[in-house]
Amino acid sequence: MKAVIIYASRHQGNTAKVARAIAEVLNAELLTVDTAHGTVIDEYDLIGLGSGIYWGRHDEELLALVRAWPAHSNRKAFIFSTSGLAEGRIFNRYNRRLRNALTEKGFMIIGEFSCRGYETVWPFKLLGGLNKGRPNESDLAAATQFARGLRVPKAG
């Protein structure tokens, strides 16, 4: 299985840690979004996309990259993110825009992973930041576990 992970990690390098943990399991090529333009997506069986959450959504450049791709019928993708607050089901549905952008292009989303990441945005900066030390070892172990699940072909 040939996999690629395209990510943006602009604030603290939090998402880069998660991207590396997943890439190691999948033996995936790892590209930052700035270097991913021109990547021929058709060459990959699995595409992972992730970033920190900035003002409620994935990185704008990552979203723009996906929106500029041609339609891909049923190619497999997965999403990941790190954020100050937890990804929610009703509020803070941070993965939603990227998920929609991918499904509109015909991708099949086979997994989503989110964890908390250290942030020093105001007003948390005044308190020494939020989620210090995260993603931590247990977050990265969860990311590794998530990636192992992606390797297994889904039944049906």
Ligand X SMILES: Cc1cc2nc3c(=O)[nH]c(=O)nc-3n(C[C@H](O)[C@H](O)[C@H](O)COP(=O)(O)O)c2cc1C
Please, which residues bridge with residue 113 across strands?
A: 80
Rule CB under 6 A: is residue 95 a binding residue for ligand X? no
Does 82 participate in binding ligand X (rule CB under 6 A)? yes
* Shortest distance in whole angstroms from residue 91 CB to ligand X: 10
Q: Cα separation of 142 and 122, whole Å?
A: 28
**Least Cβ distance, residue 111 to ligand X (angstroms):** 19
- Tell whether residue 111 is a contact of ligand X (CB under 6 A): no
**Can you tell me the distance from the alpha carbon of 107 to that of 93, in angstroms, rounded to the nearest whole number?**
19
CA dihedral over 41, 44, 46, 47, signed as positive or negative: negative
Contact segment (CB under 6 A) with ligand X among 26-34, 72-80, 102-110, 114-122 equals 114-122
Give the DSSP H or E segment for 152.
none
Q: Where does this chain bind ligand X (CB under 6 A)?
A: 9-15, 52-56, 82-85, 117-119, 121
